[in-house]
Amino acid sequence: MGGQYAPEGAEGPKLHVIITDAWLARSQALHLSGWKLLLAGFLTSLLLVMGAIASYHWFFLEGVRQGWPGFASVARLVHQNELDSKDAYLRANLDAMARKLGEMQARVMQVDALGERVAGLAGLNADDFKRDGAGGALVADRSLSLDELMVSLDRLDGVTESQVDWLTVVESRLFDQRIQRSLVPTEEPVDGGRIGSGFGFRIDPITGRRAMHTGLDFPAEKGTPILAAAGGVVVVQEYHPAYGKMVEIDHGNDLITRYAHASRIHVKKGDIVRRGQHIADVGSTGRSTGPHLHFEVWLAGVPQDPRRFLDAGEQLARSTGTPAR
């Protein structure tokens, strides 16, 4: 077998390979050029590399199995390097998880502090709802093992579960308080209206005698909207000789509001109304000297000064920065 490399000419590099068979006294020529030459070189290099790798692994593995001198120590060294690499990878991931767990713990503590402040607004004591062992540090200021990390995760899960229960109680209490406030007549029945006659004894403008005035008068133009001072159920919608066209709303807990002298009523008995709803228009029906709303608040059958309820609504609006309704 022989080969001859042709110099590069107009047609590119060429390789001539002549194969001679001494027994058969014959020869065969192969001509490689262009891409065939490159492919042949690539295949030859690939076979040489694969052969070297196969020889190395066979030689190394055979030496380890047969216990040839020196091979066992090399195998232990390779195995130890693999273990060290895996341990370093695991340690890096555990440290990253521990740092993330520490950040989660800090956020949980912030939520816990916020929950306690909100609970104070709801009139609740946070200590009555905290579970034993729920507090305290979850992550130590050092590297953690996998078992320690799992224990810390379990404790964090317990803390968050306790916080969810606690915040659910706070939400329920705040919702109850909101409902109760919506049923207390603290909304002014005439938007921006001024008060004429107040609650208490006065000189009756019709009889000229001293008499008890059981509500507040809001002078306003005829047709001015009359608003429900709180949510409730309409229990009276009728014409009364003294009160004229009037509406009474039951707010529960023996609390009733009355709206009198209306020119027109927009609700009927049995209707459920919300706070601030337009229920009637100002008028001068019944025993009246001019257009105005006569507004009363009754508690357990006893007339109350409506100004106390309206003032409470104004104070609440100022303290919270929100409208009383």
- The model's pTM: 0.51
pLDDT, residue 232, reads 94
Distance CA 242, CA 260 (A): 9
Distance CA 168, CA 220 (A): 45
Per-residue pLDDT of the chain in tens (325 residues, 90 and over written 9): 545 445 545 455 665 666 666 665 666 666 666 666 677 777 778 878 777 776 666 656 666 566 556 556 655 655 555 555 666 666 667 777 777 777 777 777 777 777 777 777 666 666 665 544 444 445 555 566 767 777 777 777 777 777 777 777 777 777 666 666 667 898 899 988 788 888 888 888 888 888 889 999 999 999 999 999 999 999 999 999 999 999 999 998 899 999 999 999 999 999 999 999 999 999 999 999 999 999 999 999 999 999 998 888 777 666 655 555 5
Distance CA 321, CA 13 (A): 91
Distance CA 199, CA 213 (A): 6
Let me know if 247 is exposed, middle or buried by CB neighbors in 10 A (0-12, 13-18, 19+): buried
| 248, 229 Cβ separation under 8 angstroms | no
pLDDT, residue 101, reads 75
Task: Tell me how far the alpha carbon of residue 3 is from its chain's centroid.
Answer: 79
